[in-house]
Amino acid sequence: MNEFDKYMELLFLNVKNNKNIRISKKLKYGFAHYYVTLVVQSKPEPSPSWQDLSVIIDNRNNCIEVIGRFINEQLVIQNDQLTKKWSLRCEDYLNSRLDRDLEIAIEDILTCSIDKSLLRQYKMDKLFNNDTL
């Protein structure tokens, strides 16, 4: 599993600087599933082509699936230690971004509104560190 660890480390080292790396989480049947996806452009403009390689960390079945166009069959890694290790790394990363991502989502929805009063109030409360929100 050394190659898998190297690949995941590469993605985590670059996730903040590379928009082609995505990490997300879903809950299914009460268990966390983490998705780590690398999307690359394989053909240049004017008609680009995209390829991806996805890692799914499944805590319900304690396994890791690797899916991509260049893999003929799904690769399934059944290793409790790897599943726990990378689940914790994904959870830590997502928790570190939670406040920022939520702030962006709130500002985006308030910015779209024709009535900007909520946006103004939100920004003022944030500016003056008001605890009303």
List, for residues 75-124, the tens digit of each pLDDT value: 999 999 999 999 999 999 999 999 988 988 988 888 888 888 888 888 88
Task: Specify if 111 maps to a domain.
Answer: no
pTM over 0.75? The answer is yes
Task: Specify if 86 maps to a domain.
Answer: yes
Burial grade of 32 (CB within 10 A; 0-12, 13-18, 19 or more) = middle
Q: Residue 133 pLDDT > 80, yes or no?
A: no
Q: How many other β-carbons are positioned within 10 Å of the β-carbon of residue 97?
A: 14
Asked if 26 and 45 touch (Cβ cutoff 8 Å), the reply is no
Which pLDDT belongs to residue 132? Answer: 52
**Domain around 60:** 2-97
The CB-side HSE value for 88 (13 A sphere, CA atoms) comes to 5
Task: Specify if 61 maps to a domain.
Answer: yes
Distance in angstroms (rounded) separating the CA atoms of residues 83 and 62: 6
Task: Specify if 120 maps to a domain.
Answer: no
Task: Specify if 37 maps to a domain.
Answer: yes
Which pLDDT belongs to residue 32? Answer: 97
Give the chain's domain count.
1
Which pLDDT belongs to residue 90? Answer: 97
Q: From residue 37, how far is each of 12, 24, 59 by CA, in Å?
A: 11, 9, 17
Task: Specify if 6 maps to a domain.
Answer: yes
If one compares 51 and 31, the residue with the highest pLDDT of the two is 31
